[in-house]
Structure 1
Amino acid sequence: MNRHERGRREYEGLMGRKPEEALGAVLRTSPQMFEAVVDGAFGGALARPELARRARELASVAIIASAGGAESRLASHVRGALRQGVEPSELLALCEHISVYAGFPRALDALAVVNDVLEEQGVPSPPQLHRVALAGHETVVAQKGDHGPAVILSHSLGVDWRMWEPVMERLSNGRRVFAYDFRGHGAAAGAPRPFTMDDLAADLLGVLDSFNVERAHVVGLSMGGGIAQAAAVRAPGRVASLALLATTDHAFDAFEERARSGEADGMEAQIVPTLTRWFTPAALATNPWGVRYAREHIRRFDPADWAAAWRAFRGVDVQGRLAGLDFPTLVLAGELDASTTPQIMSGIAERIPGSTYRELPGTPHMQTLERPELVAAALDEFLPSDR
């Protein structure tokens, strides 16, 4: 393969279009410039494998945005970044990063280009964020949708509300959907410790109070499912329905071991055992956004918050206490969940008379981060709406 062939191949691989199509005006006006771009740049440094294509497109967006004055080129590389698996949230975070090193004028111009490309590509707008004061701490609540039944989403231990972002757009069709950071996580990191499952249940209800919601459809995954159950036991009149995803109704011995490991070994040591519980080998190999997001959250987690959360989760004590409560319940298991297995999840369903049990094929523990389309479809079918 000669340099020209390599350049054409790399251009198409990065940008998704043949260079003759994308750079047609350049080719007609200056064949020499076309050759310099395709053969020289894309057939040279940009074709080397030391930097992945995704990393190269992020670097290209940052450099062009920081230099300024090349908005059409910037838009091309924003499209290229999306093609390489960069998430819209990562591009928006990159604009914030640029503001620190290149100044706000450059960052705001870049943000405008990113927003234009996202709109062009049909990417939904991000949820609206609200700062909410709860007992002894502040948190962030993400809202999608402004009418219809209220739905509150409680995330897994170790991440934050954005775990739900891949399903929020579909769920917000005819619903008001709220996802929040619970104590020790995201915007609520460093909240007073120790805390209990009852504290976390009270916080969930406090979020509903902040939005004047009397009754909501409560959805929780993993520890968030424990919180959802604790809230249902504490205040069943506030719960219109309950959806339990990849969770448990009783503590595991491993909870205290994980708390101690965070304290003694640090967060880097938690990455491998946590991600291998959460994701399939295929996802870990391909490293999509959900895996990258989870990895960075664990790496950056405060070990004290990590230990406090596991010790709070150790206090989950709702087994058998949901029987007889008067609201529909969905129990949603992942076929490939190595943490809260289908056997564990079906046991929960058996202990809640009248509940509905479903098993999502090919789905691991982190359901919304690896198979969001299956989760969104199951919840959309279960939850009422006014559409």
Structure 2
Amino acid sequence: MQMAQINGTRLHYALTGPEDGPQVVFANSLGTDFRLWDQILPLLPDGLRILRYDKRGHGLSDVPEGPYAMGALITDIEKLMDTVGFRDAIFVGLSIGGMIAQGLAAKRLDLVRAMVLSNTGAKIGTRDMWAERIRAVNEGGLSAVVGATMDRWFSKPFHSNDAFPAWRNMFLNTPATGWTGCAAAISGTDFMSSTSGLRLPTLAIAGSEDGSTPPDLVFETAGLIPGAQTHLIRNAGHLPCVEKPEEYARVLSDFLKAQGV
């Protein structure tokens, strides 16, 4: 277990692969920790230097009082990358992780040479929608929203998968303060203008059954960036790296190889 003191918050992270390997950063979604990527890592090209981390309020990282600002989440990974010596990396972000990717690329292009925007958007939902979810969690904990969340996250057949209860439990075990803190950050974020100014290799991945960030939203965001590639994973929801890890890893590997990895 590796921890770094960043902006007064201890962040849990993992570094794997050779020190001189091409650098890839993974940022996970709201309500998950960095185990989100476990199934695809063995399927990626050999020799990568991979950084995964639990954003504040999630996993084994500290849970400061919320609400959080998107700028703070971006600064967290910016300083973590500086701390571990990551520069010119390929950044893979899913959901809120994809928002962090967009914000970091706009702020520190020296850190990000290409990005994968998975199941995300330049703007996700509305302030009223997030306010209602935050209110529900404040009053009843994450159990108040777990059913609707799992329906948005996973295709119906996956609910019968043996792994489904583990993902449900991961969500329920997320600290409520961390979840609402990051939900507030999403609520206040609109990167339409800044993302439209980005000029770097980009791959957008969507799941056909995603009820949180539908394909139209993901591909609309990709359309802001000239030359961005898109890929639709069918019969998968908000976490296609969980439901369709082989296809997800293949598409990601092709993109990594195109960047010279």
TM-score category of the 2 structures, normalised to the smaller one:
over 0.9
Residue in 2 that maps onto 1:225? 98
Distance, in Å, in 2 between the alignment partners of 1:162 and 1:258 is 24
Tell me the secondary structure at the aligned position of residue 152 of structure 1.
Answer: strand
Which residue does 1:142 correspond to in 2?
14
Change (3 A) 1:211 1:171: farther
Q: Distance in 2 between matches of 1:299 and 1:193?
A: 18
Aligned counterparts of 1:171 and 1:206: Cα–Cα separation in 2: 26
Larger radius of gyration: 1
Shift of 1:325: 2.7
Q: Mapping of 1:190-201 within 5 angstroms? A: 190-201=63-74
Of 205-214 and 220-229, deviating more is: 205-214
| SS of structure 1 residue aligned to 2:39 | helix
Structure 1 counterpart SS, 2:220: helix
Once the two structures are superposed, residues 6-36 of structure 1 have per-residue CA deviations (whole angstroms, 9 ceiling, x without a partner) of: xxxxxxxxxxxxxxxxxxxxxxxxxxxxxxx
Aligned equivalents of 1:302 and 1:172: distance in 2?
Answer: 34
1:132 corresponds to which residue? 4
TM (normalized to structure 2)? 0.92
Tell me the matched-pair count: 257
Residue of 128, 131, 137 corresponding to 1:256: 131
Q: How does 1:1-387 map to 2 (within 5 A)?
A: 129-146=1-18, 147-171=20-44, 173-253=46-126, 254-286=129-161, 288-289=162-163, 291-384=164-257
User: Residue deviations 1:176-225, cap 9 Å, x none?
Assistant: 11110001101124134332111111111122112111221111001111
Cα distance in 1 for residues equivalent to 2:42 and 2:260: 15
> What do the CA deviations read for 1:154-177 (whole angstroms, capped 9, x no partner)?
000001010011112223612111
CA distance in 1, matches of 2:24, 2:185: 24
Q: Relative to total residues, which structure has the larger helix share, 1 or 2?
A: 1
Q: 3-state SS of the aligned residue for 2:116?
A: strand
After superposition, the C-alpha distances for 1:295-347 in whole angstroms (9 at most, x for unaligned) are: 11222232222211110111222113223433201111112212211111111
- TM-fit CA distance, 1:260: 1.2
SS at match of 1:179: strand
Q: Distance in 2 between matches of 1:237 and 1:325?
A: 13
Equivalent pair of 2:118/2:206 in contact (CA under 8 Å): yes
* Contact kept? 1:268, 1:299, Cα under 8 Å: yes
Contact 2:124-2:213 within 8 A present in 1 as well:
no
CA distance, structure 2, for counterparts of residue 372 and residue 277 of structure 1: 18
| Structure 1 residue runs without a partner (length 5+) | 1-128
Identify the structure with bigger relative contact order (alpha carbons < 8 Å, sequence gap 6+): 2
Instruction: Please give the TM-score of this superposition, normalised by the length of structure 1.
Output: 0.63
Partners of 2:150 and 2:144 lie apart in 1 by: 11
